Amino acid sequence: MSRQTAVQAERGWQARLELGYESRGGKTRLVHRSMHGPLAVQRPFYPQGGICHSYLLHPPGGVVGGDELEIDVRVADGAHALLTTPGATKFYRCAGLTAHQCQHFWVEDGGILEWLPQENIFFPGASSRLRSRIDVAAGGRFIGWEFQCLGRPANNETFTFGSVDSRCELRLDGKRVLIDQLQVRGLDQFGAAAGMRGHSMAASLYALPATEAVLGRVQSLIDDRFAEHAIGATLVDSVLAVRMLGQNTEDIQSVLIPLWELLRRELLALEPCPPRIWST
């Protein structure tokens, strides 16, 4: 191992990815791409007309204490980008250091962004701080989700120790309209009525701008198909927020994907086009 690699391993990875999307010739193009450290993006896919599908990559395969990852995405007027990840992001046990992940999404007037990553998995002993900020201009549209898995339920590992500090802030036309937070230290919130209620996973889906009519259709779908799940939907200042608890990824995806399909039809007037990576 070289001295530079050894020092990097001790300090953690410092990585930044900047992406900029614009509409050119009736097609959304990735016109700006800046990468530093182990964050990357695959070549764009176009499975549905001019909508640009992008897959974000973190080649090390996991996040450890001392890592600092930053993602900055801008979608211009007339552009439509869909971003996802090829697999779960794993936050491993930390030896005294905290792992940081910061994401900032900008959607300009007339732009559309769909942010549909796969889950974050926090191994027992992980110390993680996540920040997401979504800025949508008047006339822009956004649909996205985030879901966190505490421990590894498939291996019967619970999040007995460690910490997760997650915050998502949404702004519409410069005004802060919603803040969602999840703060967990070991098992302190695992069984709490105001916490995880014994569930291993928590998920939130956001869509804006939305209306009371859209909220009604979402609630009808939940009542018809997902009444047995711990799930609820609210509308705050034209931001639709759906929050859910579950025991595994399949539980979460079985609800979030149909809700995304509904919102795509209602808010974007588009038929669903799931990323191909979800089927592999």
Question: 18-22, 250-254, 256-260: which has the minimum mean pLDDT?
Answer: 250-254
Amino acid 116: pLDDT: 97
- The residue with tokens 């822009």 is 140
Residue ranges covered by each domain of the chain: 3-279
Question: 106-120, 178-192, 232-246: which has the minimum mean pLDDT?
Answer: 178-192
Question: Cα separation of 179 and 56, whole Å?
Answer: 24
Say if residue 77's pLDDT is above 90.
yes
Cβ within 8 Å of residue 167, ≥6 positions away: 130, 131, 132, 179, 180, 181, 182
Q: Are 72 and 133 in contact (CB under 8 A)?
A: no
pTM: 0.92
Closest CA to 64 of 97, 40, 41: 97
Say if residue 195's pLDDT is above 70.
no
Counting Cα atoms < 13 Å in the Cβ hemisphere of 197 gives 10
